[in-house]
């Protein structure tokens, strides 16, 4: 029983990441009808926002301490970050909390990235075939990845979670299991709750605001909404920005779990598309459900008991599920009729 709970928990953080990225992808797809292969790059850019924020915070002045020497016998260089000089202990606190602060930074930054992407490139591809959309965004993904590689190098850059959240929790004890049976890193739990909060925010935004109502109407019938005198394109552009922000935030918060590297976008991209088709193209609840489901399934498949029966299953379970679902239930779990089927 505690094994099962542990596997569910283990699957949650990856599932949360899948769910958030897929949510962004589905928002773009559902509103603008564009298949965005550069979506993984948005996730990667988000993670690098965390890297940049930390780098900026760590800019330091160097003072020499003549009383002490380093191993070369020269006066010891002491680096103090400007942020600590200016704000004192509050500065130290800010450096510690660089990842959550980066989330706040990421929202405007990623929205801007989304706007530029939509207005600058994707806008011109609405009336071109889906294959062209895939190809041009695939090219964009390569370009973004190479730019990041140019500036940050090919190695992963580890990011630390805040001190207060970097420990592990013994969740099993709360639920009446033995001690040390179910131990779970705090940050992953935070990631899960963060994901739930963002998903809830996106859904309630679409559900309870006038803006969201118009967007939902536009998703159903874009032309009629346009005929009613509403500038639906502008709202869809904003939705692209929101989708980029959601994906970017997912990337920022994931930085302490997976050290940001330039190819993480491509790595997640394939899985994200698989999640989308499992959930059903264009269905937001389907995307979230499939994201969590596949994350948890993946973690169950990596249990030793399962692996001993079906070796290698942990590597392919997601693809296998996708293939079966696409063949048995072509529209995915919650897909609607008529999406991408013309």
Binding interface with other proteins (CB under 8 A): 35, 121, 124, 128-132, 134-136, 138-143, 145-147, 150, 266, 270, 273-274, 277, 281, 311-312, 315-316, 319-320, 322-323, 326-327, 330, 340-342
**Residue placing its CB nearer to other proteins in the complex, 199 or 322:** 322
**Residue placing its CB nearer to other proteins in the complex, 5 or 313:** 313
Q: Strand, helix or coil at 225?
A: helix
**Residue placing its CB nearer to other proteins in the complex, 144 or 225:** 144
Query: What H or E segment, with its residue span, contains residue 309?
Result: helix 304-309
**Residue placing its CB nearer to other proteins in the complex, 94 or 339:** 339
Task: Output the CA torsion sign for 14, 17, 21, 26.
Answer: positive
Q: Which of 266, 255, 273 is nearest to 318 (CA)?
A: 273
Q: Is 239 exposed, middle or buried (0-12, 13-18, 19+ CB in 10 A)?
A: buried
Shortest distance, position 291 Cβ to other proteins, whole Å? 16
**Residue placing its CB nearer to other proteins in the complex, 192 or 300:** 300
Determine the Cα–Cα distance for residues 333 and 318; give it in Å rounded to an integer.
14
**Residue placing its CB nearer to other proteins in the complex, 33 or 212:** 33
Shortest distance, position 75 Cβ to other proteins, whole Å? 35
Greatest Cα pair distance, the chain, in angstroms, is: 77
Shortest distance, position 324 Cβ to other proteins, whole Å? 10
Shortest distance, position 261 Cβ to other proteins, whole Å? 15
Place of tokens 């809830």: 200
Cβ(183)–Cβ(171) under 8 Å?
yes
Tell me the DSSP string of 90-124.
HHHHHHHTHHHHHHHHHHHHHHHHHHHHHHHTGGG
Shortest distance, position 29 Cβ to other proteins, whole Å? 10
Shortest distance, position 25 Cβ to other proteins, whole Å? 12
Determine the Cα–Cα distance for residues 237 and 304; give it in Å rounded to an integer.
46
Determine the Cα–Cα distance for residues 13 and 299; give it in Å rounded to an integer.
10
Shortest distance, position 30 Cβ to other proteins, whole Å? 14
Shortest distance, position 125 Cβ to other proteins, whole Å? 8
**Residue placing its CB nearer to other proteins in the complex, 50 or 140:** 140
Shortest distance, position 152 Cβ to other proteins, whole Å? 13
**Residue placing its CB nearer to other proteins in the complex, 154 or 213:** 154
Instruction: Give Rg (Cα) of the chain.
Output: 22
Cβ(184)–Cβ(171) under 8 Å?
yes
Cβ(158)–Cβ(152) under 8 Å?
no
Beta-strand pair 60-69/75-81 = antiparallel
Neighbours of 17 (CB within 10 A): 26
Cβ(13)–Cβ(6) under 8 Å?
no
**Residue placing its CB nearer to other proteins in the complex, 211 or 319:** 319
């Amino acid at each position: 029983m505690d094994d099962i709970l542990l596997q569910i928990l283990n699957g949650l953080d990856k599932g949360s990441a899948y769910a958030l990225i897929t949510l962004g992808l589905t928002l773009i797809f559902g509103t603008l009808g564009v298949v965005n292969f550069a979506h993984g790059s948005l996730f990667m850019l988000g993670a690098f926002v965390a890297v940049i924020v930390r780098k900026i915070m760590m800019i330091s002045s160097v003072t020499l301490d003549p009383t002490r020497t380093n191993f070369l016998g020269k006066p010891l260089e002491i680096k103090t970050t400007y942020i600590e000089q200016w704000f004192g202990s509050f500065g130290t606190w800010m450096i510690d909390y660089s990842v959550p602060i980066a989330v706040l930074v990421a929202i405007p930054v990623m929205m801007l990235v989304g706007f530029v992407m939509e207005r600058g490139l994707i806008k011109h591809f609405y009336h071109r075939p889906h294959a062209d959309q895939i190809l041009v965004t695939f090219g964009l993904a390569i370009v973004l990845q190479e730019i990041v590689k140019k500036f940050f190098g090919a190695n992963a850059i580890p990011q630390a979670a805040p001190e207060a959240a970097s420990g592990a929790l013994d969740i099993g004890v709360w639920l009446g299991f033995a001690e040390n049976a179910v131990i779970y890193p705090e940050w992953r739990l935070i990631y899960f709750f963060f994901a739930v909060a963002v998903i809830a925010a996106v859904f309630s935004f679409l559900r309870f605001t006038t803006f969201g109502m118009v967007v939902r109407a536009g998703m159903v019938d874009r032309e009629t909404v346009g005929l009613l005198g509403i500038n639906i394109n502008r709202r869809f552009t904003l939705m692209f920005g929101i989708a980029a922000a959601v994906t970017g935030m997912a990337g920022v918060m994931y930085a302490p779990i997976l050290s940001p590297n330039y190819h993480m976008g491509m790595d997640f991209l394939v899985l994200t598309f698989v999640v989308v088709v499992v959930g059903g193209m264009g269905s937001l609840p389907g995307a979230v459900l499939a994201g969590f489901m596949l994350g948890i399934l993946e973690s169950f498949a990596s249990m030793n008991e399962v692996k001993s029966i079906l070796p290698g299953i942990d590597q392919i379970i997601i693809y296998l599920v996708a293939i079966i679902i696409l063949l048995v239930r072509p529209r995915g779990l919650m897909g609607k009729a008529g999406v991408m089927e013309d």
